[in-house]
Each structure stands twice: as C-alpha cells, then as structure tokens.
Structure 1
Amino acid sequence: MKKLTNALFLLVFLSFSSCNSINNLNPLNLLTGNNWVLSSILGGGLDASKFTSGIPFLNFMDEGKLAGFAGCNNFNGSFQLDGTSLNLDPGAMTKKACEGGGEDQFISLLNQAKNVKVAKNKLTLLDGAKELMSFVPQP
C-alpha cells in the first residue's frame, strides 16, 4: 500500500510540474516581464544613426497593455495575442520632432506586425513569414 501511495504522489507531482513547464512556454509569459530592445530591422543589422535619441524598445504588460519608445517619442497602447497571432496598437504617442527617420520606419513596421515568435532571448515580429523586426531583452 505504501508503494502505491508513493507512486500516486509521484504521479501527481509530475503532473503539476509538467503543467508549470507548459505555462512557462506560453508566449504571453515570455512577452511580459521583459523590456524588449530593438536589435534588427527587416532581417538586417540595426543602423543606430537613424535613432539619434536612443534605440526603440517595447514593454508588454499585464492586461494587454503596451508601452515603449520609438526612437524619439514614447507611446502607450495595447496588444492582443492569440497563439502566435498578434495585434499591436501603439496608441497615444508624444509629439517631439525627431531626426534620423528611424522612428517612422519603426512605427510603420510595428503596425504591420501580425505574428510573433518569442523565445527567452529573442522576440521577432512578423508579417506572415516575413521578419519585420527582432528584439532582445534589455540586460
């Protein structure tokens, strides 16, 4: 009887452990809690000279809230995630005049994003199979 009880306890423990591992793989869990810094545009390198006020970043928060920096202006909006389908709305944005042109491209690509691929160390925004931008967690 003791062996059966121990086996049952082990089975229950493993069931809960595996559920927790599955939850950690949820894209939403990987998105939130990181400040994602832009690392590439359209599959190429990042031309920092286009972002004279700083490199853009995204911050996905609880309840579908999105905040970030577009290279010159800050924004606060929302996001919706359904599996790997993503809808981003930058929402309200400050209106400072910007040099470099990178911010316009960043916002344009942000609006084109329809899908997301996320891992612990990389976030990729996609339009179907086309890579728009990738991000890394801020150290």
Structure 2
Amino acid sequence: MKKYSSILMLVVFLSFSSCSSLGGLNPLSLLTGNNWVLNSLMGNALDPSKLLGKIPSLSFLDGGKLAGNTGCNNFNGKFALDGKNLSLDPGAMTKMACAGDAGKMETDFLGALAQVKNLKVGKDKLTLMDGAKELMSFIPQAK
C-alpha cells in the first residue's frame, strides 16, 4: 500500500510541476500590459547599433488589436489568442521606403510574424514560436 501511495504522490507532483510557467496568470493580461521590443529574431540576438531606425516592437491592445513597428514602418492589425495558440495579422502599414538593414529587418520581421502559431509569455519575456521553433523574442520596453 505504501508503494502505491508513493507512486500516487509522484504522479501528483509531476502533474503540478509540468503545468505552464505562467503560474495561473492570464496570458492576455501579460501581453496587453506591455509594449514589447524585439530582443532576438530567428535565434539571433538583435544588435541595435546596426539599426538606423526604431527597434521593431509589438503592442497587444484591448479588443484583439495589434500595433507595432517593423523597424521602419508602423502597422495596425489584429491578433487572436486561444490558450497558447496565437495568430497575428499586421493589417494596415505605412509605406515608407526602408533602406539597407532596415529593409531587411522589416522583411525578416514580417516573415517571422506570418509564421507565429503559439507563444510563451512571462512578466519579463515574450517568445513567439512556430510549434517548438522559436521565431523571435521580446522584452518589455523600459518605462
């Protein structure tokens, strides 16, 4: 009997320890509480010194609205969150010419946004993923 109770306790422990790292926090409240600035893209850390313009960013707004900047152009679109599943639509975008590295950053950033299927979010980091593959990570903008 003692063996069965030990196994049961182990199963209960593993069940609780495998729960999401959100610790009961609502992912939507973490998303909408910050302006997120790009920290890495396709596994590469962002080098702000190589960017002539702004650092790409995302803001998740009430009502499923999405706003941001590609490093060159601003956009306003929408997002849909269902548990950890996420879809992003940048929607309308300004049409400024993006020269050099800013143009490549915009292309890479928008390409990665189109691939997003799910997320991991915490107080200090947002990771957008395609399944298990990390596409990009963000940190909250300093206030």
TM > 0.5 between the two? yes
Instruction: Provide the C-alpha distance between the structure 2 equivalents of 1:43 and 1:27, rounded to a whole number of angstroms.
Output: 23
Determine helix, strand or coil for the equivalent of 1:53.
coil
1:115 partnered with 2:122 = no
Q: List runs of 5+ in structure 2 lacking aligned partners.
A: 1-22
Name the larger-Rg structure: 1
Query: Could you say which residue in structure 1 is the equivalent of 2:36?
Result: 36
Percent identical across equivalent pairs?
64
How many matched pairs?
A: 117
Distance 1:71 1:45 in 2: 15
Q: In the alignment, which residue of structure 1 is the partner of 2:82?
A: 82
Q: Distance in 1 between matches of 2:76 and 2:114?
A: 14
What are the Cα deviations for residues 63-117 of structure 1, in whole angstroms up to 9, with x where unaligned? 0000000000000000000000000000000000002111110011011111011
- In structure 2, C-alpha distance between the alignment counterparts of 1:115 and 1:51, rounded to whole Å: 27
How far does residue 49 in structure 1 lie from its aligned partner after superposition?
A: 5.4
**RMSD over equivalenced CA pairs, Å:** 1.3
| SS of corresponding position for 2:45 | coil
Whole-angstrom CA distance in 2 between matches of 1:122 and 1:48: 18
d(CA) in 2 for partners of 1:69, 1:48: 14
Segment of structure 1 superposing worse, 65-74 or 38-47: 38-47
Secondary structure of 1:133's counterpart equals: strand
Distance 1:103 1:51, change over 3 A: farther
Within 5 A, what are the aligned runs for 1:1-139? 22=24, 25-48=25-48, 51-99=51-99, 100=101, 101-139=104-142
Aligned to 1:10: none
- Once the two structures are TM-superposed, the CA of residue 42 in structure 1 deviates from its matched residue by 1.5
Distance in 2 (CA, whole Å) between partners of 1:51 and 1:30 is 27
